[in-house]
Structure 1
Amino acid sequence: MDKSDLETYQVQLSQVELALSADPENTELISLRSELKELIELTQAAIAQQEAAASSSKAEASKKAASASASNASSSKVWSAGDECLAKYSGDGQWYPARIASVGGSAENRVYSIVFKGYNNTELVNSSQIKPLPPNYKAEMPASTKRKLSKEEEEERERKKRKNEKKLEAKAAKAKEQQEKQQSWQKFAKKSEKKGIHIAGVSGTSIFKTPDNPLGKVGVTGSGKGMTGVAPRTKHKFEIVDDPNA
Structure 2
Amino acid sequence: MADDLQGNLQNYKLQLQQVEAALTTDPDNEELKKLKVDLEEVIELTRDLIKTQLIELKAAQESAASSSIDEAELTAKLLAAEEPNVSRIVPVRKDWKVGDRCLAIWSGDGQYYEATIEDITEDGDEVSVVFDNYKNSEVTSLALLKELKAGAKRAADDGADSKAKKLALSKQREYQKKKKQKKLQRYKQLEEEREGEKNKWLAFNSKTSKKGMTRKSIFASPDNVNGRVGIGTCGMSGRPMTEFTTAEKWRKGM
TM bucket normalised to smaller: 0.3 to 0.5
Q: Whose relative contact order is higher, 1 or 2, with alpha carbons under 8 Å and at least 6 apart?
A: 2
- Scaled by the length of structure 2, what TM-score is found? 0.32
